[in-house]
Amino acid sequence: MKLRNRGYTGALTDAVSPRETENRRLARRMAAEGMVLLRNRGGVLPIPKGRKIALYGAGAQVTVKGGTGSGDVNSRDSISVRQGLEEAGYQLTSIGWLDEFEQIYHDAREHWRKKIFDSVNAPGVNGNFFYAYAMNPFIIPCGSPLDTKAACADGADIAVYVLSRNAGEAVDRREEPGDYYLTEEELALLRQISKAYRDIVLVLNTGGPVDLTFTDEIPNLSAILLMGQAGQEGGNALADLIAGDVVPSGKLTDSWAFRYQDYPSAEYFGSRWQDGWKAEYREDIYVGYRYFDTFEKPVRYGFGFGLSYTRFELVAGTISANGRMISVDVQVKNIGSQYPGKEVVQLYVSCPQEQLSKEFRRLCCFGKTDLLQPGQSQRLNLSFDAASMASFYEERGVWALQAGQYGIWIGNSLESAALAGTVVIGQPIQLSQCDHICPQQETIPLLRPDPDRMMARQQIWQAQSAKMPVCKLDAGAFVAETVDYTPVGADPGDPAWQLVSKLNDDQLLALSTGRMKAQTGELGNAGWTVPGAAAETENLLACSPWNIPSIVLADGPAGLRLKNHYRVVDGQLEVGTVQDSLENGFFSSDEPKQGTSYYQYCTAIPVGTLLAQSWNLPLVEEIGKMIGGEMLEFEISLWLAPGMNIHRNPLCGRNFEYYSEDPLVSGAFAAAITRGVQSMPGCGTTIKHLACNNQEEKRKGSDSILSERALREIYLKGFEIAVKTAQPMAIMTSYNMVNGIHAANSYDLCTKVARDEWGFAGLIMTDWTTTTTSTAGECTAAGCLAAGNDLVMPGKPEDHESIRTALADGTLSRLQLLRCIRNTVRISQLSNQVEDQKCYRSLYPNLPVYMECRADL
């Protein structure tokens, strides 16, 4: 086996590389594809190029490209809305206001920078710079009031107002002005703008929902465009949509309620509920649209909604079954007369309500058309496994399809979806019998719809379906799965097992954690060979006869998070700090430095929610391949992405990193980006955070209390889809507890579910510093390994002591340790740190393609 000869990563020149240029084009295309047009009264959009536009709002001058923390990317630059509109040829009449805001913003940033340094040694922070940074999020200033008289005379009749919000790791959003609500200053500015211009276009440069009540109070607020946090090409992509060079085709992957209090988890979320340590999932399976649709609660903008500059006609055809697969043909036609466009077709299913309370409809399939010219049609075939219609019967521990009628709904949003026919199952079908997992240790009340009302609604659609297409599903096409939960023993036929069984205890301990640095508590700066990398595994055995290379891990999921600039002094890599890795080195020392400079400019892609709002799986797969190419260039083996936790509540601080409130959307897009990344040799994704990581505050010990059914149907389902359809190289567990057990110490999650039920074949790792004791109790390194969590990151001496003690007292067996190290070794030797790529599939016939074994493993 020949290992990669590592050198310094990056380029010796600051010049823009061809790779950067090409990747920016794809990032721009991706950003435009995921933006959502929410309102367009009078067809105010698109705006012809060359027109005068008055541009206001914080995000106009300093556009937020993505969230903070590990989800940030230190890209070369980021295109603001102002830059994008100017480059597109618009005449901006508000230059004075924008220039004045630039100084206001600069002063606010410097004040904030000082505040971070002053708070490093505050109680609860204890010298950890990352937490000082995370716990003091930057509040974007509003800007100056408008000179209404001058504005009325500037020659523009359209104003664009960019509302920006930011969020990030370790702290949740707030139901307060300046976050979920507008401030009085923002509202006053908007009212001034409304008096000076005929039409206002509101651009939402936010990572998630904000309260839009104010949009009902401004009569000339004619258009609303959800820009999201669109990466470094966001300003250009927005200009493409405003100009009509790209026609909006994005759709929401979340429900936008009229009021925050309308969300079913509003009263029980985070620090609003008791002390915040207990997260009671009282809404059960009724998350997002499953709640609003089932309980007939109106929303401002519903799941799957999004407008276009053109119109489409959808005609559903016959429904057919081939074994387990159900298919519906849908003819889509662009019936507009001026603009080409793409349409998203969504298929929802209503399941029988007689035996088990269920949501009224659930998403089971979707597809997106090509770009259709006016009058052009395309036939989409929506095909899905009937298992998507199954429910988990908690008392019996089975996944099953109830006998009865299943309604098939087709539309370009949930609200517009119309009944298209039914699938009939003549007898109950059991899909699998499961062991119970993560038992509740305390009872909580669970939300349930009125059964009489649900039956009445079912009878209505069943009556409507009398003359519609019917498809009968053959129960004989299904064979009930039997899950084997037998603990895996020694595997002497596995070359990786043969190798690790020869290691002594010290070598095994070294491979059980990341390679430790002095600043083991610093998140985002635990890498050794690639500056700014999140961490690296041990390299002591990266030599003959072991040939176990260390692998470098980089944060995500909006691109690779590395330092964009570092130095080598006298042949030694400069010792960096976490300050250097945050926000393009904004917190770095201003002292001049010597040495040879290297540059690592990575591409900042749109945040996860915007990726999913494209509903374009092939395009997201292209994005994954692009990320994989950068991983090869910068010698990154594992990307700590995609994030795919469910948007349980809009105030979760990291929702921007995640895809949706729906598990199918989450799983499908995680699988797509994984397939793209892993199409590049030796590059892998790390899907995260398993599981129920749905709040940031008190994340190292908050206890997610929920039913097994909700856990399986909502919070694990996306992970299951990603594992079964893409086999990511790695999974990261979460900080929180699930029903009283830390996720990283949960044998049920790491082994019984991920490996035994889903067939996961890769590496399971902890989140960073998971084993730091919290007020909720200790999560031990030995407990992580015993649970099947293979790698404790980033590693600290106490973790080794925990494992050594557990081996001595028998609470961790050597066999358990060997299984974990085998998984780590296998991934390291299948990573891009190995140059000779020749593989022999026959050695590992049951592993996914990316894990084919090298000849000399």
Contact by Cβ (8 Å): 44, 29: no
Beta bridge partners of 741: 738
* Helices assigned H by DSSP within 772-850: 781-787, 797-809, 814-829
Contact by Cβ (8 Å): 485, 322: no
Predicted pLDDT of residue 381 = 97
CA-CA-CA-CA torsion sign (262, 266, 268, 274): negative
Helix axes 505-512, 797-809, angle to 10 degrees: 130
Q: Which two tokens stand for residue 1?
A: 């086996």
Contact by Cβ (8 Å): 356, 403: no
Helix axes 814-829, 797-809, angle to 10 degrees: 140
Q: Which residues are catalytic?
A: 767
Report whether pLDDT(774) > 80.
no
Task: Look at 521 and 559; give whichever has higher pLDDT.
Answer: 559
Task: Look at 79 and 776; give whichever has higher pLDDT.
Answer: 79
Predicted pLDDT of residue 844 = 43
Provide the pairing of β-strand 312-322 with 552-555.
unpaired
Contact by Cβ (8 Å): 41, 59: no
Residue given tokens 């599981």 in the structure block: 691
Q: Which two tokens stand for residue 449?
A: 């719809």
User: pLDDT category, 838, cuts 50, 70, 90?
Assistant: very low
Q: Please list, in sequence order, all residues whose beta carbon lies within 8 angstroms of the beta carbon of residue 773, skipping any fewer than 6 positions away.
A: 779
pLDDT tens, residue by residue, 657-688: 999 999 999 999 999 999 999 999 999 999 99
Predicted pLDDT of residue 523 = 58
The rounded distance, in Å, linking the Cα atoms of 471 and 383 is 13
User: pLDDT category, 576, cuts 50, 70, 90?
Assistant: confident
Contact by Cβ (8 Å): 306, 346: no
Report whether pLDDT(445) > 60.
yes
Q: What is the dihedral of CA 93, 95, 96, 99, to 10 degrees?
A: 160
Q: Which two tokens stand for residue 73?
A: 């990317």
DSSP 268: G
- What percentage of the chain has pLDDT greater than the value 70? 96
How many C-beta atoms lie closer than 10 Å to residue 44's C-beta? Answer: 18
User: pLDDT category, 524, cuts 50, 70, 90?
Assistant: low
pLDDT tens, residue by residue, 56-95: 999 999 999 999 988 899 999 999 999 999 999 999 999 9
Contact by Cβ (8 Å): 533, 553: yes
Strand order in the sheet with 377-385: 312-322, 325-334, 377-385
Q: Which two tokens stand for residue 112?
A: 């904030």
Number of helices and strands in the chain (H, E): 22, 33
Beta strands in 340-402 (DSSP E): 344-350, 362-368, 377-385, 391-393, 398-401
Q: Which two tokens stand for residue 321?
A: 């079954």
Report whether pLDDT(500) > 90.
yes
The pLDDT of 378-398, averaged and rounded, is 97
Predicted pLDDT of residue 121 = 82
Report whether pLDDT(311) > 90.
yes
Report whether pLDDT(783) > 50.
yes
The rounded distance, in Å, linking the Cα atoms of 194 and 158 is 10
For residue 91, how many C-alpha atoms fall within 13 Å in the half-sphere facing its CB?
A: 8
Contact by Cβ (8 Å): 266, 211: no
Burial class, 145, CB count within 10 angstroms (exposed 0-12 / middle 13-18 / buried 19+):
exposed
Report whether pLDDT(250) > 80.
yes
CA proximity to 78, closest of 609, 623, 584, 639? 584
Q: What is the dihedral of CA 270, 794, 764, 582, to 10 degrees?
A: 60
User: pLDDT category, 120, cuts 50, 70, 90?
Assistant: confident
Report whether pLDDT(31) > 50.
yes
Average pLDDT, the chain: 93
Predicted pLDDT of residue 852 = 45
pLDDT tens, residue by residue, 471-480: 999 999 999 9
Q: How far is CA 361 from CA 181, 296, 349, 414, in A?
A: 31, 12, 5, 9
Out of 250-259, 592-601, 790-799, least confident range: 592-601
Q: State whether residue 646 is helix, strand or coil.
A: coil
The rounded distance, in Å, linking the Cα atoms of 572 and 685 is 30
Q: Please list, in sequence order, all residues whose beta carbon lies within 8 angstroms of the beta carbon of residue 544, skipping any fewer than 6 positions away.
A: none
Amino acid at 13: T
3-state helix vs strand vs coil in the chain, percent to 5: 30, 20, 45
Predicted pLDDT of residue 146 = 96
Q: State whether residue 123 is helix, strand or coil.
A: coil
ω into residue 374 within 30 of 0, thus cis?
no
pLDDT tens, residue by residue, 192-237: 999 999 999 999 999 999 999 999 999 999 999 999 999 999 999 9
The pair phi, psi for residue 476, each rounded to 5°, is -70, -15
How many C-beta atoms lie closer than 10 Å to residue 403's C-beta? Answer: 15
Exposure letters 432-462 (e unless 16+ CB within 10 A, then b): bebeebbeeeeeeebbebeeeebeebbeebb
